[in-house]
Amino acid sequence: MINLEKNADGFTISIGGNTVLSHSAARPFMYAGCGNELVDMYRGNFQIEDRIVQRIGLPDWHFPDLPTGSLGGGRPGSGTARIDAAGILVVFSAAGKFGISCVLAEEDGRLVLRFKCDDTAADTSNRYWFRLPAQPDERVYGGGEQFSHFDLRGRRFPLWSSEQGVGRNKRTRITFEADVNDRCGGDYWWTFFPQPTLVSSRHYYVHADCPAYAAFDFREPSFHELEFWALPDSLTFGSAPSMLELVQDVSALLGRQPSLPDWVHDGVILGIQGGTETCQSRLDRARQRGVPVSGIWAQDWEGIRMTGFGQRLMWNWEWDPQRYPGLPEAIKRWKKEGVRFLGYANPYVAAGKPLFEEAAAKGFLAKDACGKDYLVDFGEFDAGIPDFTNPAAYDWYKGVIRRNLVDFGLAGWMADFGEYLPTDAVLFDGRPAMLAHNEWPAIWARINREAVEEAGLMDEVTFFMRAGFTGSQKWCPLMWAGDQNVDWSEDDGIGSVIPAALSLAMCGHGLHHSDIGGYTTLYSMKRTKELFLRWAEFAAFTPMMRSHEGNRPGDNWQFDSDDATLDDLARIGRVFVTLKAYRKAVVDECA
């Protein structure tokens, strides 16, 4: 039951006896104002500054559709009303200005607040703050995928999709070197997958329907403050007797992942690069040592380029027959042996390559302010961004995924990136890129999902992503934790994967894994044998067990660097396979 209780100074709203909203003249629920942001993107790393010009509390309130009385527009009096599907309109303002209407309604047992500005507020406001009552001992989770902290209390978390940073802790040498050399050190809140959802230990959650830049501030003992750079369409509150039921309701609201193909559970997916013969020889050696192998993941199936960062890919999303001769036949042969072949794709096309030229000729790329195709620096090479707000471009790119990956025979792929939409890009549908930026990874997830669904292969083909936003839950089958350092650190190494998986699960996305051994190999970091094996042991208890060579394969310990490593991987892989029935049951709970 959702109750609104009014007193002489304000009102509170509770769900099942749990107070989730409180408003009074002295402590307003809402604030409105104006700010000027400065956004600088360098290779997916964002520096965002904001100068607040005005911030005004909205202490005044009234219920215009109710008669004067216990819940009328006047301040005197008190009373209680039940909020139902019909809804109750309340208007917040400050001395007659900044009028923001809010309809309070019950929808499927949840409290939903839907907002609308009057003309004055719409013309003068682009910043909005909401304060929710808190308790000193309350714990808060969510915020999307948070790598450094599971309990968010005591900190402020900007919510913006970006590179996760290298090091992600300003007190460490690695972060310092990354900042000095490449402007990419990051900080504790940097994430590929932000989401404006908080889950409280008081057994309630709130989710904002708003793609704009946001920041959730949990530093105060008596309130949580949610900041948005656009007025949310709605805030949805839910409550449940237990945390399990609470998270189930979050996932019911936002959507649930499909189950994984059965073959994923049958062994290790080996990250291999170098060509068809290399894949075959390394597969043979692994199987000879007893490693249960369910797949080969060869991200270089479409070609490579060398950069200062290390080995990168061609970004043209079609088979490279020079690097992988005879691959179609090999894929069929491996599949008969119980080994699937997986590849790689992302939502960008490298300048000068055939897919880029085709997209440019068709007018399918996002534009800059001068109307030219927007070229983004991805680290010593440029790429264009297919404009998914253009239905024709959306369908074209989905067709690329369908023809070049699904129909080619790939059983899965890393659907990488999604975070690089520049905030000054000009999009086909006219929406500001600042509002489209966070949503881009979820749109990218939908493209991949539809390509697989339309091929009728959801039971056979899967993909995994690092970037996301609200909606990714129902489109993306599996997340991976992104580009961890090849080290033990809690902020960006193996230790960061656990809070990342848990925080994302609290937001409704429960299927998560990571690169065995990590990825980022820079600033003297090199993967050791012990790190690889410990990571493999950890991965045996996740939905997918998949290795990665890293961006500098020659510097890192690999699954076949010696026979002892292969023997240990065989043992760990057998644990993974033995848990198949249990793991499938748990995975199905997320679906």
Q: Which positions are catalytic? A: 416, 419, 483
The rounded distance, in Å, linking the Cα atoms of 157 and 237 is 20
| Strand ranges, E, within 172-257 | 194-200, 204-209, 214-217, 223-228, 234-239
Q: Is 75 within 8 Å of 9 (Cβ atoms)?
A: yes
The two beta strands, 515-516 and 546-547, are parallel
Amino acid at 70: S
- Residue showing tokens 């690695």: 174
The rounded distance, in Å, linking the Cα atoms of 88 and 35 is 31
The rounded distance, in Å, linking the Cα atoms of 261 and 584 is 10
The rounded distance, in Å, linking the Cα atoms of 540 and 268 is 9
Cα distances from 482 to residues 152, 303, 329, 453, 532, in angstroms, run 21, 21, 31, 25, 16
Cα distances from 25 to residues 92, 135, 240, 382, 391, in angstroms, run 10, 20, 30, 53, 47
CA-nearest of 73, 128, 114, 118 to 98 is: 118
> DSSP characters for 449-507?
HHHHHHTT-TTT-EEEES---TTHHHH-SEEE----BSS--TTTSHHHHHHHHHHHHHT
Q: Chain centroid to CA 569: how far? A: 30
Give the count of alpha carbons within 13 A of 557, CB side only.
22
Tokens coding 71: 């819940």
Give the full edge-to-edge strand order of the sheet including 156-159: 45-57, 30-42, 127-133, 223-228, 214-217, 156-159
Residue 207, number of CB atoms within 10 A of its CB: 25
The rounded distance, in Å, linking the Cα atoms of 116 and 106 is 18
Cα distances from 169 to residues 172, 177, 178, 194, 436, in angstroms, run 6, 11, 11, 18, 28
Tokens coding 72: 């009328």
The neighbouring-strand residues paired with 270 are 296
CA-nearest of 352, 354, 342, 351 to 317 is: 354
CA end-to-end span of the chain = 28
Residue 241, number of CB atoms within 10 A of its CB: 9
